Amino acid sequence: MQAPLLNVQGEEVGKIELPEKIFGCKPNAQFLHEVATIHEVNQRRWTANTKSKAEVSGSGKKPWKQKHTGRARAGSIRSPLWRHGGIIFGPRANRGARRTMPARKAKEALAQILSDRFSSGAIIFVDKIEVAEPKTKAVAQILKNLKCAGSGLMMILDAANAGLSRASRNIPDLELALAADLNAYGVLRARRLVLTAGALEKLSARWN
């Protein structure tokens, strides 16, 4: 598999070889939905919290003797049956509902969504992206040359670039990502991708 390789001026400078195991997969909508759901569940912050009878304030002394009082048996004023007692089966902040995802499943989902974006022509391959100075207009000009300006754009790099990060932070709907940290959910949210040759090598290394 091959794709055109451009420079930051938008000119084609050659072809780039694409691994079929990353860009030649058949997407499965149900599978991708499951992966996206797991990611969203794990992003949830479990803040609601109730106290059990071991945590509410109150004495542990038996309120009255067991028999011959005419009252129901009681062992603690902190009982969930009493007012100001503990809560039964209430939400717990430390319980959570975090779901795990096998590494193989995460890689398969990433390959499927990358294959889908590639087949729809939503990925642009660039030899490298560099700016002489950290200015917003420099990045804006690069996006204009590549004809990919707009919302939902993700630029995937092989390594962190402080100057490029500073120059692009004022451009709305532009997200910078590292190939080593790329996941299916992030790509799924992006409409178009700009992928450098170095980032492609890093991606390929994850499968090798």
Q: What is the pLDDT of residues 65-108, one digit of tens each?
A: 999 999 999 999 999 999 999 999 998 887 767 788 899 999 99
Residue 149 has pLDDT above 80, yes or no: no
Averaged pLDDT for residues 178-186 = 93
Cβ atoms within 10 Å of 77's Cβ, excluding its own:
18
Which residues belong to CATH 3.40.1370.10 in the chain?
2-44+99-207
pTM reported for the whole predicted model: 0.78
CA angle 42, 48, 52 (to 5 degrees): 120
Q: Which CATH architecture has domain 2-44+99-207?
A: 3-Layer(aba) Sandwich (3.40)
| Separation between Cα atoms, residue 132 and residue 62, nearest integer Å | 77
Residue 166's nearest CA partner among 134, 200, 133, 143 is 134
Question: What torsion do the CA atoms of 36, 168, 191, 5 make, to the nearest 10 degrees?
Answer: -120
**176 neighbors 129 (Cβ within 8 angstroms):** no
